[in-house]
Amino acid sequence: MVPFAVAGIALWIIAALIMLPFRDELAAHGHGNWFGIAIAGMLWGIPGLLIMTVHDRNRRRRRAAAALASDSFKTDAGAAP
């Protein structure tokens, strides 16, 4: 999920940079808040990125624990009593 969060933040940054030279023109046409929305999207993306990083780390840990448990189960099942 981290690549999706990074891509989203990057898209908001690109949108803000594209709108930066046109801020006055956007405001004149009643769209002055678009630049602020792009900045807010970028800033809200940062906590999302952190959450996805923690989620991916926990998912890797769970999968490793499940694989380890699965391997030990196979080893124990094949042992003679």
Mean pLDDT across 41-65:
93
What does the alpha-carbon distance between residue 9 and residue 50 come to, in Å, rounded to a whole number? 12
What pTM did the predictor assign?
A: 0.71
Asked if 5 contacts 48 with a C-beta cutoff of 8 angstroms, the reply is yes
Q: Report the half-sphere exposure of 51 (CA within 13 A, side-chain side).
A: 7
**What pLDDT, in 10s, does the model give residues 54-76?**
999 999 999 988 888 877 666 55
Q: What residue has token string 């970028």?
A: 42
Q: Residue 4, Cα to own-chain centre: how many angstroms?
A: 5
